[in-house]
Amino acid sequence: MFCISSFVIAILQMRKPKGPKLSLVFDEDKRKEYLTGFRKRKLERKKKGRLLAEEKLAEEIKAVKMKYREAARKRLEGLSFPEFFEGSSIGTVTAQEQQIVDDHKVTFEHIDLTNSHYFMGVNKADFQPPSEPEKIGK
């Protein structure tokens, strides 16, 4: 038995001397806030994520609108309008009226497209309704 006890004494002597003990003091209010605040922090994360997603969506919509506007602007640059829109008349204006509308002098021009190459045709129906309904005999 003497061996075992001397062995234990030798191990105790080999250990490093311990410094002052570390003692933790908990603030009960902070501990309670941490333990009960999981739901609140989760809701804050959800709200932050939702706001971030809304901002991204708004930026994406804005980018799509700008892209559409640029495409429309490029299409309009490539169009050539008929001559009567540019000011030179090709004989399509048949009459002009000037009227005063809310302190503004407005000119109304009646345009006849039948004499120009912009005319598509007369808007008449080819179908003639029958004058008398057909009688079906049995």
Does pTM surpass 0.75?
A: no
Q: Which residues contact 110 (CB under 8 A, 6 or more apart)?
A: 93, 94, 95, 96, 97
Give CA angle at 116 (115, 120), nearest 5°: 95
Contact yes or no for 111/118 (Cβ under 8 A):
no
What number of helices (H) and strands (E) belong to the chain?
A: 4, 2
Q: Closest by alpha carbon to 118, among 70, 68, 84, 72?
A: 84
Instruction: State the DSSP code for 46.
Output: H
How far is residue 63 CA from its own chain's centroid?
8
What is the separation of C-alpha 114 from the centre of its chain, rounded to a whole number of angstroms?
Answer: 45
Model pLDDT, residue 115: 64
Residue-wise pLDDT tens digits, 48-72 = 999 999 999 999 999 999 999 999 9
Question: Mind listing the pLDDT tens digit for each residue in 9-40?
Answer: 777 777 666 778 888 888 999 999 999 999 99
pLDDT of 81 > 90? The answer is no
Q: What is the pLDDT of residue 111?
A: 76
